[in-house]
Structure 1
């Protein structure tokens, strides 16, 4: 078991990392601004569920294999970047439809949940981050390291859930104002597409 002191320290650090601007928090904000609080929350739950996969990979050592295999890392990067570009294309199509006088189509909470999972799981940088970050708070004398990694992963997920949930709430408050104007909705979709393209480029040019 992890000591109370380490638990509190890790949780505070995790909150700080979750608050820092990054692809996940931007993704949650754009979805909640476009579709409301519940949409942002569905996206958040998907992203947090993806963290469960990364925690498991670190606990069983698969992340170390990815780190040691440039080919595996490259394949995961290509998959993640390809999915982000796909999301950018969908955002551009939605914006073009609105610009032509069409109605904004809501894909459903399930689709946003799945997007969150795929976006997180297909990013190998998250597994490598967990591989470098979580073991720093593990103490072999306190029992199974794999179990400690799992516990730390759950704490990180809780921190992310709290922060992203707050962002969803903020985005949901803004949604009612932004959605009054089709022109603003078009702009948000285009901005979201630019964000996805930027994230895809960042992932493609990242290194181990």
Structure 2
């Protein structure tokens, strides 16, 4: 029971720590609303499940044991954050407006699968998840009586924390956002999110 509480606490701190996921939820909720943010969260959970599976089956240890593969993972993740950051910046200057409300420009919400994919790539591109399941996760697994169902029970807790925290963040943003869907305010949200994503990309690129 103590190990379960310790694991839950670590997961809560891991999920709540500032990172690309939070930036994506901020942008999606501000520009497109709660539904788009929920699709992002689905993507987070799917990617986390794969990251956890790589760790549980030992594939992460094989890949990250080689500096070559680790650097490939790092550069792919960095490249994605830089790409999406630049895309946000460019989009802030050339936003496609929706004609749903005459006289008021709104950002057109992406399709569901695009929001899920965006969340998936954002979570999966961050090596922090894989490193957690490689380094910290084994401390909470009893290898003398190992069962996959026990390991995935912990993974389910991680998924529940991801869902709860980022849904809460989305609700808070909805309460605060006012009229950020308007083209002017929305453009600034896009620009700020883009700059932060580029920052995370640079930090990841130069990390050791």
In structure 1, list runs of 5 or more residues that go unmatched.
Answer: none
Distance in 1 (CA, whole Å) between partners of 2:45 and 2:61 is: 21
Task: State the 1:99 CA deviation.
Answer: 10
Hey, which bits of structure 1, 4+ residues long, moved more than 4 A? Answer: 98-103
Task: State the 1:173 CA deviation.
Answer: 2.9
Aligned to 2:152: 150
Aligned to 1:166: 168
Q: RMSD of the TM alignment (CA)? A: 2.3
Q: Which moved more, 1:127-136 or 1:85-94?
A: 85-94
> 1:179 is paired with a residue of what secondary structure?
coil
Kept in 1: contact 2:56–2:133 (CA 8 A): no
Task: State the 1:106 CA deviation.
Answer: 2.1
Distance in 1 (CA, whole Å) between partners of 2:130 and 2:47 is: 10
Kept in 1: contact 2:89–2:195 (CA 8 A): no
> 1:57 is paired with a residue of what secondary structure?
helix
In structure 2, list runs of 5 or more residues that go unmatched.
Answer: 98-103
Aligned to 2:101: none
TM-score of the two chains, using structure 1 as the length reference:
0.86
> Higher helix share goes to which structure?
1
Aligned to 1:76: 73
Aligned to 2:100: none
- Count of aligned pairs: 202
